[in-house]
Amino acid sequence: MSGGVPALVLGTYPFVTSSNCTVGGVCTGLGMPPQNVGEVYGVVKAYTTRVGIGAFPTEQDNDVGELLQTRGKEVGVTTGRKRRCGWLDLVLLKYAHMINGFTALALTKMDILDVFPEIKVCVAYKVDNELIPHFPANQEVLQKVEVQYDTLPGWNTDISTARTFQELPENAQKYVRYVEEYLEVPGKGVSPSGCIIKGLHWSLGEV
C-alpha cells in the first residue's frame, strides 16, 4: 500500500511513515511550487500488498495470497519479511487518486495473475451492511469493512513476453480497461515483473 496510505497526515494512522509520501511531498521536500510538478503517474501493482501490521481489507490469508506472494517474490527489501498480499483494491486506489491527482496509470506485475482462472477486484466497502462512499483512513472503521468484489475472467496465458497492448490476451486487456474505467484515469503503461514495456501506451479511447 502506497501513494498516501502510509503517509503521516493522510494515511492509516498509526501505521504510517514519518513523512509525506504523497505527491504533495514533492513540493514540501524539494521546496518547489505545485504547478511545477507536471504529470502524476500512479504506478500500481495489478494486485495489492502491504508490509507490517495494519488493516488490509482485500488480504488473502490463504492459498491465493500465498501464490501471489510466491509468484511476485513479495518480500521486504531490508527485512526479508514476506509481504501480505491480496486482490486489487480499487477503493484504496481511488483514495490514492483523490489525494495525489493521477493524470495517468502504470499497471505493473500483471503477469503474476497469469495462473488465476478468475481474478477479483474490490469495488466497494460496506460497514454494518451500509455502503460507504470512500476509503476510511481510520483503522477502527477499516478493520470492520466488508469488501464487495467484482470477479473478472483470468487469461491463463503467459504475458511476460508481451511488448504491446495488443499482444495481451483479451481478458488481460479487459482487466486493464476495468481499472481505467473505475478510476477514470487513462493508462499509459503496463509491465510484467522486472520489465517495463517501452512504448506500451493506450487510453480509453483507443481500439
CA 22-132-19 angle, 5° bins = 20
| Cis, peptide link before residue 133, omega less than 30° from 0 | no
**Which parts are annotated binding residues?**
17, 77-83, 109-111
Q: Identify whether the C-beta of residue 108 lies closer than 8 Å to the C-beta of residue 43.
A: yes
Q: Where are the alpha helices (DSSP H) in 23-89?
A: 24-30, 63-72
Q: How far is CA 48 from the centre of its chain?
A: 5
Rounded (10°) CA dihedral 96, 99, 103, 109: -20
Measured distance CA(10)–CA(69) in Å, rounded: 27
Residue 116's SS3 state is: coil
**Which parts are annotated binding residues for substrate?**
77-83
Q: How far is CA 1 from the centre of its chain?
A: 7
Measured distance CA(146)–CA(127) in Å, rounded: 6
**Which parts are annotated binding residues for IMP?**
17, 81
**Which parts are annotated binding residues for GTP?**
83, 109-111
